[in-house]
Structure formats: C-alpha cells, structure tokens
Amino acid sequence: MRDNFFTEVKIEESREKISHKQSIMFIGSCFTDEIGNKFLQHGYSIKKNPFGILYNPLSIAVCLEKIAKKEYLTKEDLIKVEDYYYAYSCHGDYRARTEEECLALINNSIEESHSFLSKADYLILTLGSAWTYWHIPNNYLMGNCHKVESKFIERKMLSQQEIFNALDKVINHIRENLNPNLKVVITLSPIRHWREGWHDNLLSKSTLYLAIEELRKNTSCYYFPSYEIVMDELRDYRFYAQDLLHVSETTVEYIWQKFSQTYFTKETQELNKRFYKLWTMQNHRPLNPDTEAYKKHLNKIEILKEELQKETIQNL
C-alpha cells in the first residue's frame, strides 16, 4: 500500500533568508502579482511590477534597464490606440487620455522604482513566455499588444541565448552600478499560455527553463521551482482556476507555503502569521462603523501594529 499519492518536489532550504527588515522588488507575469500580494499581506516592504505585468524576459530586461539607469520615456515611446495613449514597453494598466499624463504615470514609476531598487535586498523575477510581439511599423518590442490590429504585429520566439544575454547584462549592470548586494530569485510561471498553442507553449517554457539554468550557473541567481510544484505535486485541474490555465488561490497558497519553508526562518514564519492577522483586521469592512465593537476593533489594530513594529525593529 502506498503511503503517498503524489510526487513531491523536494526543495533544499535556502541559506539566504528573507526577513521583514528587507525589501523586495517583483517583476514579471501575473503569477508575480499573486506571490507579490502574499508578501504584501504578510508585512513586507515590496514594489511590484513597476511597468505592469510583463511576460517575456526581453520586456522584463528593458523594464529593469530603464529603472536602473533612470531613463525616462518620451513621446516616441508611446502609441495611441482609440482614445488612449500607451507605452510600447508597458502593460495596458499604464494608459491615459493625453501623452503628458501617460508619460507622467510611467516616469513617476521609474523614479520611485530606481530609488527602491537601489536599496532592495531581493529582486524576484517570474518569466512567463519566450514569445515576443513587435510593432511592425517601427520594430518596437511590445510589453503588451494594447489591442493593436494583428496586421501590425509580428510574433517571434526568443532563443535561450537571447534570454540569457538580456537578463545577464541588466543584472550585472545593476550590481555593478546601482546595488552590488542585490540577490536575484528567478521562477518559471506555471501559468500556461494556451493561446500560443500547446506545442508553442511547451517550446516557450522549455526555452525559458534552459535560459534560467544558464543564469543560475553563471549570474549567481537563485531558482525557485514554482513550475515544477504545479506540474508534479499539483497535477490535477482542481488546482487551476475556471479557465484551466491560471492557477487557483489554493495553488498560490500552497506555493507560498513552500516558498516560506525555503526562504523564511521559523521565527519569520511566526511573524508572518501575525502580520497576516493585522492585514485581515485592517481589511475588515464593518456593517456599522459607529458601534463600540468596531471602535474596539480599531484599537486592537493599533495595538497589534505597534507590537509588530517593535518586534520588527528588535530583529533588525
């Protein structure tokens, strides 16, 4: 009789630990958003997707380079689609009715992100797809297609070497010119890009996997096996969202627990629980905010917040 019913992905506990005194930048796919939210809920100082969600590593490298060098976007970096201006290199969340508003939105993010990255302890990158999309009229790489007509878009898949070269170059630039102590963790998104087709999705993931291995060996990057956890431990559609492509909340929580065991000490994990309690208390929406019970609830929030601030300072 079997005593286990799944293939466990055994992860060696990291010697490098993450604590609440450290700051972390997240860049990458929508899976990055999910994990970044977990850090936010558990009391960490983070900055998440300063150019919006990005799937391919070349767009991620462009984003990082702009931030590291504090290179601001100009009107030439924008495209107008219907009533809005977008930046070629950014997600569609960065849009505005005027060029000036759009540039202000993005360049403010570059300014804030440069300052954050210069002091960050960790950079966590999640690569989603090796497929890239280019605007044919001016050969611009697009972080998002922004509903541009397909006749103006060319689709290309990056090679393993192109991925390695782009990320190796920008990571080394950051360490040499901005933040020499930055640690980099790379993950491969378990979310399937089925619109690419099943064959092209597998080619894409395989290419990313090989490039990540080269980065791990040659660029002093750590690798966390999110992809393998979903493919091997959670090998069932119960662990996917309704579209059967994105992962469910249960899966994100499971990966968070695995990450916690790898990168957090037991003390930090206990502190995580208390920060999460604070987060749930702060996000409670009362039916009647004028009651004595709710005033007591607010008082409890302030007490817990002060306790956690003291404990975090003591652990510095």
Q: For residue range 26-48, what is the model confidence (pLDDT) as tens digits?
A: 999 888 888 999 999 999 999 99
Alpha helix stretches (DSSP H) within the chain: 30-41, 57-69, 99-119, 160-177, 198-218, 226-228, 249-263, 266-282, 292-314
> Which residue type does 70 have?
K
Q: Which domains does the chain have, with CATH numbers?
A: 23-264 (3.40.50.1110)
Q: Tokens standing for 37?
A: 């939210």
Express each pLDDT in 73-109 by its tens digit: 999 999 998 899 999 999 988 999 999 999 999 999 9
Q: Give the separation between CA 65 and CA 48, rounded to whole angstroms.
A: 16
Q: Tokens standing for 225?
A: 């096996």
Which pTM does this prediction carry?
Answer: 0.90
Q: Give the separation between CA 236 and CA 234, rounded to whole angstroms.
A: 6
Predicted pLDDT at 187: 95
Predicted pLDDT at 284: 82
Positions of the chain with pLDDT lower than 50, given as ranges: 1
Q: Measuring CA to CA, which residue among 71, 91, 63 is closest to residue 167?
A: 63
- The DSSP letter of residue 157 is E
- CA 116, 117, 121, 126 dihedral sign is positive
Percent of the chain scored above 90 by pLDDT? 63
- Residue pair 135/79 in contact by the 8 Å Cβ criterion: yes
Helix axes 30-41, 249-263, angle to 10 degrees: 60
Predicted pLDDT at 288: 79
